[in-house]
Every structure is written in C-alpha cells, then in structure tokens.
Structure 1
Amino acid sequence: MPFRVNTQLVRHYLLRRQIDWIDDLLSYEKVNRQGYFNPDTVERLKTMYRDERFRINQTFERDLLMIVLTIGIFLDLFSVPSR
C-alpha cells in the first residue's frame, strides 16, 4: 500500500501556518528558478489549498502540491541542478 500524506495536514498546517521553509519551497521565484514546475500553476494550487472548501479525494485524485513539495525537498537535499 503506498504511503499517503493526509491533505488536511498540508492544507491546514503547512500552508496556513506560514512556515518559512514551506513558503520558500513553494515560492514563485524558487519554483521558477528550478524549472521543473510551472510557477503560475503552483500559485493557483496554493490558492486552492488555502480555501476552506477545498478537498482532495485521496482515492481518486493526486495531491499535486505535495508532489511539488516533495520534489523541492529532493532538489535541495541532493543539490540537484535546476533545469
């Protein structure tokens, strides 16, 4: 069974608490500089996730913002060059 992160954790804790390292990983400038994701799309995802009504059905939907966070951590941790 694959590991799944609770989206409520991401939405309520990571995004709403304005944690510096999370904000840095998801910043428009950093996402743009890394070149792996579209920074405009990431900004739209951040807006969606912060909305009280936003929900992800973990059975049928992918948590796209968690993918961006995971790749951002990987890039930083292993000093992978930007694209």
Structure 2
Amino acid sequence: MEILIRNALDREGYCLNGMENNWLFAEKIVQSISGHNRIIIEGKAPTRVIAIENHNDEIEIYMNNGWQVNLKLSLSELSMINDIRLVGVPVM
C-alpha cells in the first residue's frame, strides 16, 4: 500500500519529505496569481485496504486513514497499470 501512495504522490507532483512512525508528509509547490504556494498532505499512512471497486479498466482502492487511489489498467494486459491517481487524502 505504501508503494501505491508513494507512486500516486509522485505522479501528482508531490515530494515525499518523510515517513516516520507511520506518518507521511508530502508537499508540492504550485504557481498561482499571488506567487508560489505550497500544498501539504500530512497524515497516517494506510495500513489496510477497506474496499476495492472495479469499473471496467479502472480500480478504485479505498484504504484506512483517508487514503484512496485510482488505478487505470491496460485493456490488453489487466495486470499492467497505465496510470495511478491520488483521489482521497487524510483531512487534518
């Protein structure tokens, strides 16, 4: 599960700044009209899967501690992941 979260954070442009005592801290710098802003994600890392939903070529994985990812699979080879997106993150 940790690899899924790391890959999803990386794909979304976040830099994982640390993982200590099952706690994740990631940030991303974005450009806006007012200058540079930081988006910070902080929370407990997932330790278990709560539910998995299958939608044709996409799989939605719901994990504890507020994490949710979406995997887009290759139609020709269902074991191949084409894309991973971060859908839900812990709310602090």
TM-score by length of 2: 0.24
Greater strand share, structure number: 2
Higher relative CO (CA 8 A, sep ≥ 6), structure 1 or 2?
A: 1
Q: Could you say which structure has the larger radius of gyration?
A: 2
